[in-house]
Amino acid sequence: MSFWKKKCESDGPSSTMLATAETEDTTSIDTDESLAGLDEEANISEGNTQQDQDELSSHSVESNTDTVDPSSSGEPVEGDQVADQEALALEYEFQRIKAEVHQQVIGRMDLNALGGLDESELRIEVHRACEQILDERSDLLNKEDRERIFREVIDETFGLGPLEPLLADDSISEIMINGPDTIYIEKNGRLQRSKVTFASEPHLLKIIQKVVGAVGRRVDETSPMVDARLSDGSRFNAIIPPLALDGSLVSIRRFGKRALGVPDLLGFKSITPEMVQFLSACIEGRLNVIISGGTGSGKTSLLNILSSFIPPEERVATIEDAAELRLQQPHVIRMETRPRNIEGTGEVTIRDLVRNALRMRPDRVIVGECRGEEALDMLQAMNTGHDGSLTTIHANNPRDAVSRLEMMVGMAGFDVPIWTIRKQIASALDLVVQSVRLTGGARKITCISEITGVEGDVLTMHDIFKFVQTGVDEDRRAVGYFQATGIRPQCLERLEACGMTLPPELFEERILQTVGD
């Protein structure tokens, strides 16, 4: 079978490329997802190549400087400046060759012949195409540069281009893109700038469109903000111009290939065995728990870990904006919100899904995050037979979490007195677990608080376990200790009724030791 289109008569590869690309625009076939991606690349390439080349001529791939040709400046330069400018010029030339090779590969591929191949076979054909095209060119590339072109063209065709090396690094927990020339990563809890960049703003936009299109969402000038997820479950958020002034902004919150578990929390010294013992009993005993914390504090990861204590025979409904939870139970029904379409209709909110979930006979309801009027429906679910439900909320401490919950219930549009809302919260919620990202990047469970009721107009609560920070070490990392406050939880009787008996000495006032201390 021939995988190549018949080359058009031409004196140079550029003419071949343009002719085959124009022919490809008229081809309409049904293929698998990978093949559809190739077709999309062919259509995008023809429209964006000249713009990409113009952008490349004014942007360095390794720096924010506008100088790419050392001969373009009349000012004398010496030493390291000359070496840097030569490196920039070489990198620009490499990116120019890669862009041309990529477009030629897509233009030459015969999509009709490739229709029956799987992705691994398609990758082999793309690699073979790159080799043939480079053999035809007069550019003098060493073996290392040729291998880099092979790798990056395949990443562009089947993956997310320059992001692929970062996504392959399991030690990177977050990727932040501030325009095509600036990418920061969080590695081992610390932010650092990456050398990886995009060739141009259109190049970055093309990658964004590939991500959001794969999950059925859209982003354009009329809807310039989007939440999505990658194939591995990582959270993806993008804002494009005109809202982003200096180029498209992207944040990718990574999730490991392996879901974190209790041993990981203990190994990170984020929690103590006593706290785990108490939380596991609370989840099995069907107490309603809310996880509070700031951005990047590990709320979703903690929610995933706590959900592992849910008995496997229960039916669990999960509701999220972008699906991130990875529950291990066999009977899980997953739901995800939907934004409004281009006509402004068709939106499905978390509140809509919570209401519908209550008709699906769940034993528990887990909401990825309460951030608005859905808080009222969540409290109603907790108060009407769905004990053991879980959710997260943005707040700095347990008391602030309850205050924010009161405010969000008020957003539901009902004229309800504040004391009624507080009684509803006190009746529905049992525990608030506070997760914090401390100085230096460490994430710890800093407080486990029990809601005990309402006295007058004040909702009462007390801390059962907490983390006390005493300072920072020489590496600017937070240090401190966990302690049991000595308060016996009121929920113990309820846990005992469910068969969860905890020893009284678990709550004696003392400093707790983490694993390995």
Domain of residue 270, CATH code: 3.40.50.300
pLDDT of 96 reads 74
The pLDDT of residue 168 is above 80: yes
Exposed, middle or buried by CB within 10 Å (0-12, 13-18, 19+), for 345?
Answer: exposed
Higher pLDDT, 15 or 373: 373
Higher pLDDT, 199 or 192: 192
The token pair at 328 is 């291990």
In a domain, 440, yes or no: yes
The token pair at 45 is 């390439």
In a domain, 339, yes or no: no
Count of C-beta atoms within a 10 Å radius of residue 468: 10
pLDDT of 138 reads 65
Same domain flag for 154 and 208: no
Same domain flag for 398 and 274: yes
The pLDDT of residue 1 is above 60: no
pLDDT of 115 reads 56
Amino acid at 86: E
Q: Return the closest-CA partner of residue 20 out of 124, 128, 129.
A: 129
Mean pLDDT of 88-102: 73
pLDDT of 447 reads 96
Mean pLDDT of 331-353: 87
In a domain, 335, yes or no: no
Same domain flag for 65 and 199: no
The pLDDT of residue 63 is above 60: no
Same domain flag for 432 and 463: yes
Mean pLDDT of 231-246: 89
Mean pLDDT of 503-515: 93
In a domain, 102, yes or no: yes
In a domain, 15, yes or no: yes
Banded pLDDT at 161 (limits 50, 70, 90): confident
In a domain, 472, yes or no: yes
The DSSP element (H or E) to which 183 belongs, if any, is strand 183-187
The token pair at 334 is 């997953």
Same domain flag for 504 and 435: yes
The pLDDT of residue 3 is above 70: no
Q: For residue 40, what are the domain limits? A: 1-158
Digit-coded pLDDT (tens) for 259-270: 789 999 999 999
Banded pLDDT at 218 (limits 50, 70, 90): confident
The pLDDT of residue 33 is above 60: no
For residues 512 and 484, what is the distance between their CA atoms, to the nearest angstrom?
7
pTM over 0.75: no
pLDDT of 158 reads 75
The pLDDT of residue 514 is above 50: yes
The pLDDT of residue 58 is above 80: no
For residues 210 and 202, what is the distance between their CA atoms, to the nearest angstrom?
12
Say which residue the tokens 């010294």 belong to.
269
Mean pLDDT of 488-515: 93
Final residue of a domain: which of 213, 228, 257? 257
In a domain, 355, yes or no: no
The pLDDT of residue 273 is above 90: yes
Q: Is 342 helix (H, G, I), strand (E, B) or coil?
A: coil
Same domain flag for 79 and 107: yes
The pLDDT of residue 46 is above 70: no
For residues 393 and 388, what is the distance between their CA atoms, to the nearest angstrom?
17
CATH of the domain at 250: 3.30.450.90
Cα dist from 488 to 278, 452, 492, whole Å? 12, 12, 8
Same domain flag for 429 and 385: yes
Strand ranges (DSSP E) for 342-457?
A: 364-367, 390-394, 431-437, 443-455
pLDDT of 15 reads 37
Q: How many CA atoms lie within 13 A of 58 on its CB side?
A: 7
User: For the chain, what is the mean pLDDT?
Assistant: 80
Final residue of a domain: which of 105, 127, 158? 158
Same domain flag for 31 and 48: yes
Choose the most confident range, by mean pLDDT, from 36-45, 90-99, 105-114, 334-343: 334-343
Digit-coded pLDDT (tens) for 440-469: 888 999 999 999 999 888 899 999 999 999
Final residue of a domain: which of 224, 257, 290? 257
Number of domains in the chain: 3
In a domain, 320, yes or no: no
Same domain flag for 389 and 287: yes
The pLDDT of residue 310 is above 70: yes
Same domain flag for 142 and 116: yes
Banded pLDDT at 383 (limits 50, 70, 90): confident
Same domain flag for 127 and 189: no
Same domain flag for 467 and 483: yes
Mean pLDDT of 378-405: 91
